[in-house]
């Protein structure tokens, strides 16, 4: 409960004594490059193979001759949009970006850079953390869209070159009984996951105490807690919006 209280107060301090809009604009742009652009390659590689493996494993399990082959495309589409693209990408995002945020702020804390900002009268939480959260909220949904597109494309490549089903059947399954709310649901999850990963990682790094060893421990805790928060919020959102 003490940690939860500190986390809530930490979030409340984001909007106290803010800097100028021009200052935030530059910081957010820099964070967008660090958080979003530098994650494209990793997300792309994982997404393509994630979609390909999903197609192969779905085809392996649907061996009943009464089930048409186009169901494979439908299963891969819904699985990718509802779960794989936002959630698996979120866990990868927590491991890459979350640990980086925690390590960066933890290093600034132990080297007394944060204390220097506070001595100068700058709200260090707002100046250091708010741009990271805003940049994550802006960039992560785009990464989820990219992940979903590449995962479905990877499924097509697996269908075409793996010989598990005809590409035409795969495309028929992609268009079969499509529910547009699935896309909105994935985007809602992406915004929630982005906020959880960025804020939890920033909290863990900001309150680091000790030396270099504690910075590594803060990064590990940031990834662990972020992954748990992603899975828990994934269940809650599915219960509230889908059931």
In a domain, 202, yes or no: yes
List the one residue out of 180, 190, 161 whose CA is nearest residue 91: 190
Non-local CB neighbours of 77 within 8 Å, separated by 6+ positions: 152, 173, 174, 178
In a domain, 94, yes or no: yes
Give the residue carrying structure tokens 């910081």: 27
Which range of residues forms the domain containing residue 60?
Answer: 19-241
Per residue in 137-166, pLDDT (tens digit) is 999 999 999 999 999 999 989 888 887 788
In a domain, 9, yes or no: no
In a domain, 13, yes or no: no
Distance CA 147, CA 84 (A): 9
Query: Whole-prediction pTM value?
Result: 0.90
Asked if the model's pLDDT at residue 67 lies above 80, the reply is no
128 secondary structure, DSSP code: I
Residue 242 confidence (pLDDT): 83
Per residue in 33-49, pLDDT (tens digit) is 988 888 999 999 999 99
Q: Average of pLDDT values for 175-194?
A: 91
Distance CA 80, CA 124 (A): 39
Per residue in 82-136, pLDDT (tens digit) is 999 999 999 999 999 999 999 999 999 898 888 888 888 888 888 899 999 999 9
In a domain, 82, yes or no: yes
Surface-to-core class of residue 158, CB atoms within 10 Å of its CB (0-12 exposed, 13-18 middle, 19+ buried): buried
In a domain, 3, yes or no: no
Q: How many domains does the chain have?
A: 1
């Amino acid at each position: 409960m003490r940690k939860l209280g500190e986390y809530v107060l930490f979030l409340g301090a984001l909007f106290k004594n803010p800097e100028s809009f021009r200052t935030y604009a530059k910081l957010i742009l820099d964070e967008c490059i660090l958080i979003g652009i530098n994650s494209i390659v990793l997300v792309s590689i994982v997404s393509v193979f994630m979609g390909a493996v999903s197609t192969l494993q779905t085809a392996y399990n649907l061996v009943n001759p009464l089930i048409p082959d186009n169901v494979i495309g439908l299963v891969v589409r819904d699985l990718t949009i509802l779960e794989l693209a936002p959630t698996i990408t979120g866990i990868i995002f927590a491991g890459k970006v979350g640990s980086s945020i925690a390590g960066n702020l933890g290093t600034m804390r132990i080297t007394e850079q944060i204390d220097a900002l506070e001595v100068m009268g700058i709200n260090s939480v707002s100046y250091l953390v708010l741009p990271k959260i805003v940049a994550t909220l802006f960039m992560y949904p785009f990464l989820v869209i990219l992940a979903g597109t590449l995962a479905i494309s990877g499924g097509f490549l697996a269908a075409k070159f793996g010989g598990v089903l005809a590409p035409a059947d795969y495309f028929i399954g992609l268009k079969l009984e499509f529910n547009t709310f699935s896309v909105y649901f994935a985007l809602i999850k992406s915004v929630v996951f982005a906020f959880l990963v960025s804020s939890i990682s920033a909290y863990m790094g900001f309150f680091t105490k000790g030396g270099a060893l504690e910075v590594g421990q803060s990064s590990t805790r940031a990834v662990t807690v972020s992954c748990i928060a992603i899975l828990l919020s994934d269940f809650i959102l599915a219960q509230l919006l889908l059931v």
